[in-house]
C-alpha cells in the first residue's frame, strides 16, 4: 500500500467516524434555544409534579409534613422499606363526592367557556375590523383589567350582585322588579365572575386569528353572490377556528381549578375541585388525598389537550 492510498484510507475512516460523532451531529444552536424553556418547564413543572405525585402515594400522618415517608431505612436493625399507597386513588373512585366535584367543575368551566366565546368573538371581530389606529386603544381597554388586582375585581362584582347592590337598585328604580333578585352566592354569579375574569384570554387569540385573515376571500365570496351570514359561516368562522381552540383552552383549563371566584361569588352548594383541594390541604390536612385529587385533575385536563393538539398537527400535515 502506497503512502497516498494509506492517507486516503485514513481520511475516509476519519470522515466515517465523524458521521457517528454525537457532538458533531448535535445542532448546538437549536439545543441552546430549546434548553431554556425545557429547563424552565423541568424546574417549575416537572419537578413539582413529581413531588406532588410522590406525596399522593404516601399515607396521611400526624407529623410535619403531614404524610409518611415512602422510603424508610435503619442501619442498626439492618432493614429498609419502600411503600407505595394507592389507596388515595381508589378512594377517589369509591367516593361519589370527588366524582361530583370533577363533574361540577367541568360543567361550570364548559358553560363559562361557551359564554366567554359568545361574548368575546364579537369584540375580537370588532377590534380586528377596526382602523389600525383604533385597534391599539381597543386592545388596551381589553388588557386594562389586568392592571388592577384580581381580588378587587371579584369583590367589585359582589357589590354589583348583592341584594342592595347596583344591579338590584337599578332594576327596582326602573320598576322592572318589585323585590331584589338573589344573584350573589349562586352559580349565576360564578358564571359571571369567570366570564368577566377570563374574557381577555378569549379575545386576544381570537383577535390574532381574525386579524390575519385575508379579506379578499370575503370580497370574492360577495362577488359570487354569498350573503354576509354565509360568508361568516363558510369563511370567517373556519379561519378563526385556531383562535377559538386556543381561547377556549386558555379559559377552560384555569376555570376548572378556579377557587377564588366560587369561594367569593358562589354558595355553599357550589362544588368545584379547587375548593375541594383547599379543604383537603388546609382544613383536613390530608396532603396525600389532596395530591391525588390534583394529579387526577391534571390528567383529566392534559389528555384532551394532547388529543386536540395531535388532531391539529395531523390537519396541518394533510393541508
How far apart (Å, rounded) are the C-alpha atoms in residues 182 and 29? 60
CB 199 within 8 A of CB 112: no
CB 70 within 8 A of CB 82: yes
HSE toward the beta carbon, residue 301, CA cutoff 13 A: 22
Say if residue 117's pLDDT is above 90: yes
Please tell me whether residue 271 adopts helix, strand or coil conformation.
Answer: coil
pLDDT score for 33: 75
Give per-residue pLDDT as tens, 13-46: 555 544 555 556 666 677 777 888 888 888 888 8
Give per-residue pLDDT as tens, 235-279: 889 999 989 998 998 999 899 989 899 989 988 888 898 888 888
Say if residue 3's pLDDT is above 90: no
Say if residue 11's pLDDT is above 70: no
pLDDT score for 44: 85
Q: What's the pLDDT band for 79 if we cut at 50, 70, 90?
A: low
pLDDT score for 313: 66
Sequence-separated contacts (24+) of 258-261 with Cβ below 8 Å: 258/109, 258/194, 260/150, 260/151, 260/154, 261/154, 261/190, 261/193, 261/194, 261/197
Give per-residue pLDDT as tens, 163-179: 888 888 988 888 888 88
How far apart (Å, rounded) are the C-alpha atoms in residues 253 and 250? 6
How far apart (Å, rounded) are the C-alpha atoms in residues 68 and 284? 16
How far apart (Å, rounded) are the C-alpha atoms in residues 314 and 312? 5
Say if residue 217's pLDDT is above 90: no
Say if residue 10's pLDDT is above 50: no
Give per-residue pLDDT as tens, 274-303: 888 888 888 888 889 999 999 998 888 887
Task: Find the radius of gyration of the CA atoms of the chain.
Answer: 28
How far apart (Å, rounded) are the C-alpha atoms in residues 215 and 235? 10
Helix-then-strand count for the chain, H and E: 17, 2
pLDDT score for 78: 62
Nearest to 168 by CA among 156, 152, 155, 184: 184
Of 52-66, 183-197, 214-228, the range with the highest mean pLDDT is 183-197
Q: How many CB atoms lie within 10 A of CB 134?
A: 11
| More confident site: 100 or 319 | 100
CB 70 within 8 A of CB 61: no
Copy the grid coordinates of residue 175: 320598576
- Determine if residue 74 is left, alpha or beta; phi over 0 gives left, psi from -120 to 50 gives alpha, anything else beta: beta
Q: What's the pLDDT band for 5 if we cut at 50, 70, 90?
A: low
Say if residue 4's pLDDT is above 70: no
State how far the alpha carbon of 186 is from the alpha carbons of 110, 158, 191, 192, 305, in Å. Answer: 17, 11, 9, 10, 30
| More confident site: 11 or 148 | 148
How far apart (Å, rounded) are the C-alpha atoms in residues 169 and 177? 10
Q: What's the pLDDT band for 94 if we cut at 50, 70, 90?
A: confident
Task: Classify domain 95-285 at the CATH class level.
Answer: mainly alpha
Global pTM reads 0.81
pLDDT score for 312: 64
Amino acid at each position: 500500500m502506497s503512502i497516498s492510498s494509506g492517507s486516503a484510507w485514513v481520511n475516509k475512516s476519519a470522515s466515517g467516524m465523524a458521521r457517528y460523532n454525537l457532538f458533531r451531529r448535535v445542532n448546538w444552536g437549536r439545543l441552546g434555544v430549546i434548553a431554556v424553556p425545557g429547563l424552565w418547564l423541568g424546574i417549575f413543572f416537572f419537578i413539582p409534579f413529581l413531588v406532588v405525585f410522590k406525596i399522593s402515594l404516601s399515607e396521611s400522618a400526624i407529623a410535619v409534613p403531614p404524610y409518611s415517608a415512602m422510603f424508610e431505612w435503619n442501619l442498626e436493625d439492618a432493614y429498609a422499606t419502600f411503600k407505595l399507597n394507592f389507596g388515595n386513588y381508589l378512594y377517589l373512585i369509591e367516593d361519589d363526592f370527588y366524582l361530583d366535584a370533577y363533574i361540577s367543575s367541568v360543567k361550570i368551566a364548559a358553560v363559562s367557556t361557551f359564554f366567554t366565546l359568545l361574548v368575546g368573538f364579537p369584540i375580537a371581530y370588532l377590534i380586528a375590523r377596526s382602523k389600525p389606529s383604533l385597534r391599539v386603544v381597543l386592545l388596551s381597554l381589553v388588557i386594562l383589567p389586568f392592571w388592577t388586582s384580581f381580588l378587587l375585581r371579584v369583590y367589585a362584582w359582589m357589590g354589583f350582585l348583592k341584594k342592595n347592590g347596583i344591579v338590584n337598585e337599578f332594576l327596582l328604580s326602573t320598576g322592572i322588579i318589585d323585590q331584589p333578585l338573589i344573584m350573589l352566592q349562586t352559580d349565576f354569579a360564578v358564571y359571571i365572575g369567570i366570564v368577566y375574569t377570563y374574557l381577555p384570554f378569549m379575545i386576544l387569540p381570537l383577535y390574532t386569528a381574525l386579524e390575519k385573515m385575508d379579506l379578499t376571500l370575503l370580497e370574492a365570496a360577495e362577488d359570487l353572490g354569498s350573503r354576509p351570514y354565509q360568508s361568516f359561516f363558510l369563511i370567517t368562522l373556519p379561519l378563526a377556528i385556531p383562535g377559538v381552540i386556543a381561547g377556549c383552552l386558555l379559559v377552560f383549563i384555569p376555570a376548572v381549578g378556579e377557587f377564588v371566584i366560587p369561594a367569593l361569588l358562589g354558595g355553599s352548594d357550589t362544588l368545584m375541585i379547587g375548593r375541594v383541594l383547599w379543604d383537603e390541604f388546609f382544613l383536613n390536612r390530608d396532603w396525600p388525598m389532596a395530591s391525588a385529587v390534583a394529579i387526577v385533575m391534571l390528567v383529566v385536563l392534559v389528555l384532551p389537550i394532547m388529543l386536540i393538539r395531535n388532531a391539529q398537527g395531523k390537519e396541518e400535515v394533510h393541508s
